[in-house]
Structures are given as structure tokens and as C-alpha cells.
Amino acid sequence: MPDVKEPLQRSHIVLLVLLSTATFFEGYDFILLNLVLPYLKQDFGLTLRQAGYAASVIASGTIAAFFLMRLGDSLGRRAMLLWTVLGYTLATGLTAVTTDIVGFVALQFIARVFLVAEWGISTVILAEELPASRRGFGISLVQGAAGVGGIVGSALFPIVSKVSLGWRAMYLIGLVPLALVFFIRTQMSETKRYAAQRALAPPPRWTEVLAPQHRKTLIVVALLWFFMYLGYTPILTFWTTFAMNDRGLTPKQVSLVIAIAYTVGLSGFVTAGKLMDVWGRRPTSVLFFGVGSLATAAAFLGPPSIWGMGISLVVLIFFATAYLAICATFTAELFPTRLRASASGWTNNTVGRIGMVLAPTLVGLLAERLANPATLARSGVGPAVALMGLSPLVCAALVLAFLPETRNRELEEIAG
């Protein structure tokens, strides 16, 4: 297979900028819920249990995004990108003026549906438009923009939350992507592959991707997402609690470690993308899933010093954040154009997100059994997350056993 690096055209660069900007605000909006939850409890008079219920309902929007994702195969990539950006922007902006928890949850549920659909549609567009030799890097770069959005949101919150509007001002900033709608309308066309496919055949039925010829790949990719989320979600959910309760770090130390870890660690997106295009999807997957699993154990079972915890978290974030880009690349490449958006919806937004929803509960159950107040595993959270962190090893096994190498291959050749 010849290693020919096709140059990126101006249209490709414009596409990367537009989609990176849209996905940046996805990460920004996602992080806001974690930041404002204490303020919601105070402003709306919520108990801890009620706040947890609210967060769970909002998170379920990631599963409901399936219904929007599959429309990408019938209404088109460009149209769905426009609607998803418009939808999550308006829902985020309206959140700033909500007066009760019911309205807040409803608007953030809607925002989450549109956000996740935009994320998936962006990946499909990149796969169909970028040169084969640049697909891995392009998809990883745009995925990484969400992480940058999360970092910026975290940095802005202590400043913006002090203005008269408080936490609501953060959601008003979420109106900025409305400007993207204009640029998408004027700078983006429908993907060439989708336009050619629609000229040949009508839109697919929503169950067509479940046909026998696609079933094996659909199951394997769905399991890839499921086990990835089982290992990835607890890292994001429990590290702060673990660091403060089991390792005795102060809130200031936790904030510093997280800021450094995510700033340095997000380079893992770019590294994984380059390696996928140069080295191959399969070896890169094995490297990142394998080392990421070991890094999870080191971060949650290692020494309690702030230096040790900081270094282990940097390594963990470097490898673990790239899980998303690897799974997204395989999903976008392994299905035919007429079913690419539907396949993403079935694998990521249904089976995969079930793993995301189950992961915190499983950690809680394991932690109860593994807790030992006499050791560093006081609450049991560390051993529980370390054990769940082995799930990506299943992903590595699935890739080696069932998925083809797609590096430098055109989508039509892969799907064929």
C-alpha cells in the first residue's frame, strides 16, 4: 500500500476550522453541567439526590441523539450539521433564562441531543471529504477541539460566574456558535460522496443497517464503543472525588493538576491521529487502548504524592482521550455512504452510550466491595476505576480479531 500524503486543499482547511469550532462548543457545553451543578442546588433548592437525577436525565440525551444521527442519511450531512448547530446553540442560550430545574433539565436535554448529533455528523463529513491519507488526523483534530472547549470553559467559569448573571452568563456565551450557521450556509457544500449516492438511490430505511451483510461489523463496532465508554467514563467522573477523598488533595491542588493534565494530555488526540495515518489504525488502537488501561491503574492505584498523581494523570489523559477519536474513525470508515450516519447512531448513541450510563453505577457497586479504610483504597473508588479501566483491553482484542486495517484506503474500497 503506497504511503502517498495527499495535500489538504483550501476547502479541507475551511472544513476543519468550521467543524473544530462547532465541536469546541460541544466540549464547552458538556463541561458546564459539572461546573454549575453546585449553583443549581443552591438556586433551585435541590437535594443531592435531585441534582443526580437531573444530571442523569440530561445525560440520556446522548442516547436520544440516535434519532437525529440517522437523519443524516436521509436529509443530508450539510442540512443536519446546520440544524444541530442551530439546535444546541438556541437550547444553550435559552438555558440562561430558565427559572426552574424542570426548564433547565429540559433545555439541557435538548442541547445534549443536538450536541452529540453534531459531533457524529462532523465525523461523517470529515471521513467523506478528507483525503484517505489524512482522515485519521482530521477526525482526531476535530475530536480534540471538544477537549479544548472543556478546558476553556473551566478557565472562564471562575471569572464569568462572578458577574451579576452568575452561572447564567456562561450559557449566554454559548450563543456564539450562531455565527457558524452563516458560515456553514455560505462555505460548505454537501459532501461529494453523499450527493453522488443520493443521485443513484433513495434514502435508506432506518433498519437497513441491520441487514445481514452489515450485522457483524455493526455488532463489533457497537461493542467497541460500549467497552470504551465503560473504561473512559469513570476516569472523567471519579478522579476529582478520588483525589480529594482518598488521596487528600485540596480543591486548589485538584484544579491545578487537572488543568495541567488536560492541557498537556490533549496532545494525545493529534498524536493518535498522526499515528493512525502513518502507522495504521490497528497498531495505534492496540497501543492506546493497552497503555491507556495501564495508565488508568497507575493513576488510581499509584502513590499519593501530588507529583505522582499529576504525572500519572497526564499520561492517562494523553492515551485515554484518544479512545474517542479511534472509535470514531473506525465507525466512519467501515460502513457504506448511504448508511454511515445511521451506523454511527446505532453503534455510538445506542449500545455505546449504554456503557457510559452503566459505568458510574458499576464503579459504585465495585467500590463498596473493594473499600478498605486501612489502606490507600479507603473508599474503594481507586481499585474500582482501575478495574473498569481494563475494559479498553477488550477494545484492543476486538480490533485485532475482527476489524480490517483501513489506513490509506478509500471508503468505497473499505465498505466493499
Q: Domains along the chain?
A: 1-195 (1.20.1250.20), 206-416 (1.20.1250.20)
Q: Which residue has the cell 436525565?
A: 57
DSSP 295-311: HHHHHHHS--SHHHHHH
For residues 156 and 161, give the distance between their C-alpha atoms in angstroms, rounded to a whole number: 8
Report how far apart, in Å, the C-alpha atoms of 56 and of each of 11, 106, 146, 376 are. Answer: 39, 12, 21, 30
Write the CA distances from 211 to 56, 200, 207, 216, integer angstroms.
Answer: 33, 20, 7, 10
0.95 exceeded by pTM: no
Each residue's pLDDT, cut to its tens digit, for the chain (416 residues) gives 445 567 778 888 988 988 888 888 878 887 787 778 778 878 888 776 777 678 778 888 888 999 899 899 999 999 999 999 899 999 999 999 998 999 999 999 999 999 999 989 999 999 999 999 999 999 999 988 888 888 888 788 778 777 778 888 888 888 887 777 777 777 788 999 999 988 888 888 878 888 999 999 999 999 999 999 999 988 877 887 788 888 888 877 877 888 888 888 889 999 999 999 999 999 999 999 999 999 999 999 988 888 888 899 999 999 998 999 999 999 999 999 999 999 999 999 889 989 888 888 888 888 888 877 666 666 788 899 999 999 999 999 999 999 999 999 999 998 76
Distant-in-sequence, close-in-space partners of 391: CB < 8 Å, separation ≥ 6: 227, 228, 230, 231, 293
